Amino acid sequence: MSLRFFILATGILFSISLSSCSTGELGSNSPSEEPANQTQPQESGAQGQTESEINTEDQDQESGATSPQSQEALLEGFRQITYASCEKALARGVVERSVEPEGLVIVMIPKQEAIAGYSAAYFLPPDTYELIFETDVFSSCALANLFALSEEAGQELELEITHDKQTNTFFITQDLGEWGMSATSYEVKGDLIAAATNLNAETGRFLIEYGQVSDADRAIIQTSVDRFSQE
């Protein structure tokens, strides 16, 4: 079973590609080649916005409806967090582990460390190893890709956002059309997404670790490459 089908079938992950746009892609026939059409987070004048600045206009979970102005400021602050998270994942590597339920591990290493041209894969117990070709599978990059694509198209990404100041958790709601409403929480630490939870399902929580990809996690990519080459 492919990871994308697994995502849609089980609801454990929650990033969905825009059917009419290309998303961040991974993998190539040669380690030296650029991944085709890889969507990179765009720089913004609000890049240096601090958490305290984000908090000045956001909505406490117990307060009433957020004004359009505060929604805009809150969304812009979160946009910068998604860009910083994806940039670090691409530059330093990232491991995303499912903890509810345990088992699924998604790994990406920096492009310059790619194995036979491939830099991302997943492991699903007991013995499923598959390559990943798009960065939108990763919670650390999914929304950054959507933000970047919407900017390129000159359209605003339609999201509803609230922020729990005490836990520094952002709650994102999005209308996915035929897939229904998506509700996801993103816990932020050090201005990076540290955990993501699919609130539409009883299970679907991922912890995110940036940099220092272990040999055991790197082996997931190696095994996936080996099996792919044998197909």
Which residue reads 């339609």 in tokens?
158
Residue 112 has pLDDT above 50, yes or no: yes
- DSSP 8-state symbol, 133: -
Q: Which amino acid is at 60?
A: D
Please answer whether residues 33 and 40 qualify as being in contact, where contact means their C-beta atoms are separated by less than 8 angstroms. Answer: no
Q: Which amino acid is at 127?
A: D
pLDDT at position 24, please?
61
Q: Is the pLDDT of residue 92 over 80?
A: yes
Nearest alpha-carbon partner for 143 in 185, 200, 98: 185
d(CA 14, CA 135): 13
| 108: pLDDT strictly greater than 80 | yes
Residue 26's pLDDT is: 67
Encoding tokens for residue 171? 């709650």
pLDDT at 95 over 90: yes
Rounded to the nearest angstrom, the gap between the alpha carbon of residue 100 and the centroid of all alpha carbons in its chain is 17
Distance between CA atoms of residues 123 and 84, nearest Å: 26
> What is the spatial distance between Cα 194 and Cα 100, in angstroms, rounded to a whole number?
15
Domain ranges in the chain? 3-16+68-230
pTM over 0.75: no
Q: Enter the tokens of residue 176.
A: 């996915």
Please write the tens of the pLDDT for every residue from 120-152.
Answer: 999 999 999 999 999 999 999 999 999 999 999
Q: What is the pLDDT of residue 224?
A: 98
DSSP-derived 3-state class of residue 212: coil
Select the more confidently predicted residue: 19 or 108: 108
Answer with the residue of higher pLDDT: 92 or 41.
92
Residue type, 102: E
d(CA 74, CA 58): 5
- pLDDT tens sequence across 152-191: 999 888 899 999 999 999 999 988 888 888 899 999 999 9
The predicted-structure confidence for 7-63, as pLDDT tens digits, reads as follows: 333 333 333 333 333 346 665 433 333 333 344 444 433 344 444 344 434 444 444
DSSP string, 69-104: HHHHHHHHHHHHHHHHHHHHHHHH-EEEEEEETEEE
For residue 156, the model assigns a pLDDT of: 84
Q: What whole-number distance in Å separates Cα of residue 118 and Cα of residue 110?
A: 10
End-to-end CA distance of the chain: 14
> In the predicted model, what is the mean pLDDT of residues 90-110?
95
Name the average pLDDT for the chain: 78
